Amino acid sequence: MIHVSSHSPPGQSPLRTVQVLGGGSAGSCAHVRSLTSGLVARGVRVTVCAPAGADHTYDFSGVGADHVHVPRRNDPTSMAVLRAACADADLVHAHGLHSALRAAVALSGRRVPLVVTLHSRPYAEGARAHLLRLLERRVARAASVVLGSSSDLVDRARSRGARDARLAAVALPAPRLPAESEDADRLRPKARAELGATDRPLLMAVGSLERHRGYDTLLDATRAWRRLDPVPLLVIAGEGPLRGELQRRIVNEGLPVRLVGPRDDIGELLAAADLALLPGSWESRSVLAQEALHARVPLVAAAAGGIPELVGDAAELVPHGDSEALAEAVEALLADPARRERLRDKGTLQVATWPTEDETVAQVLSVYDELTKPLPLP
């Protein structure tokens, strides 16, 4: 529960902030909604610049923000809308590298503080990797403060020239369906029956179907599970450009995998699973990892990005891109109920170490205060 108190002293106009969001990852969108709710509750005026689809899904308007539709494109019209939205801001807070770059351009020539929160390590190969480094340098040097959601992102921002980079307290709302819910026992068999896993282990992976998320490695790992009895079923929830390619592999190789597309009942599906799998994610605070530990579902994850820092010893970590290690870790856990129970208990302890929504808002407000307090008179 976010503590409600007025942040604006009597007689002073409220702080005016603009949150710039590209509508990208679920983690950054959920963070902005949580942050917005807390800021509004404390008397801060918030405008969220994001695609209309993001507002429809995360309802920034419903927690008291003004929403301005700004498409993710970088065309002149979109940039003009963003520039106008930032015109009367006391401070602009951008989330993610590309949103930060757009915000920096929109603020060109103006002395308005820019805070940037980095939620994930950007991914690029070849010539695009050089361009990425240039973009990171531009953003790092334009930002008054860079907040990284994991230590590796803070170090990366400093290496790109950030004059002030700090570890961010980033909290996400608790899952909609905790494992302790009184409905869990009723919903779990229903979910497993719908997915076709009433008499076999159910493995869950969630996320957009993109190359860098490690789904090729995950499908490679499923080959080893075909020799198990019963054969585990892997269910992947999400949509993306790799769907056709992954589906062809599943059919051609006879893999025990189902692609179920985007779902609005991830909490229920996850709570029904025996294991959650995260084969590759450069998100520092993966939504799936957090929901799995909240729901006491054992997690097997690639040791990439900020995942090791996020989960500690409360998950089975394997080298990124190593399908054999992933397959062996899953097989070992399925064969060891005591190990799974220990991971559930460790997950509960790890969740208790994560920052709360209230702590997240308090840290962000302290940064805002630093950057907007009036200079002393000479």
* Biggest alpha carbon–alpha carbon distance for the chain: 79
Three-state DSSP state, 287: helix
Cα(192)–Cα(189) distance, integer angstroms: 5
Q: Which residue has the tokens 């915000």?
A: 103
* The two structure tokens encoding residue 62: 């419903």
Phi/psi of residue 201, each to 5°?
A: -60, 140
Domains in the chain (CATH in brackets) are: 16-171+355-372 (3.40.50.2000), 184-351 (3.40.50.2000)
pLDDT in tens, 247-257: 999 999 999 99
Is this prediction's pTM over 0.85? Answer: no
Give burial (CB, 10 Å; 0-12/13-18/19+) of 39.
buried
- Give the pLDDT of residue 211: 84
Low-confidence ranges of the chain (pLDDT < 50): 1-5, 10-11, 177-180
- Give the pLDDT of residue 8: 54
- Give the pLDDT of residue 173: 65
Cα(103)–Cα(95) distance, integer angstroms: 10
* The two structure tokens encoding residue 223: 């080959």
Q: What angle do CA 133, 105, 375 make, to 5 degrees?
A: 105
- Give the pLDDT of residue 9: 53
Looking at 22-75, which runs of residues are DSSP E strands? 45-50, 66-69
- Give the pLDDT of residue 339: 97
- Give the pLDDT of residue 29: 87
Taken in order 81, 362, 163, 153, is the CA torsion positive or negative?
A: negative
Cβ 283 vs Cβ 25: under 8 Å: yes
- Give the pLDDT of residue 74: 80
pLDDT in tens, 330-377: 999 999 999 999 999 999 999 999 999 999 999 999 999 999 987 555
- Is cis: bond before 51, omega within 30 of 0? no
80-94 burial, b at 16+ Cβ within 10 Å, e below that, comes to ebbbebbeebbbbbb
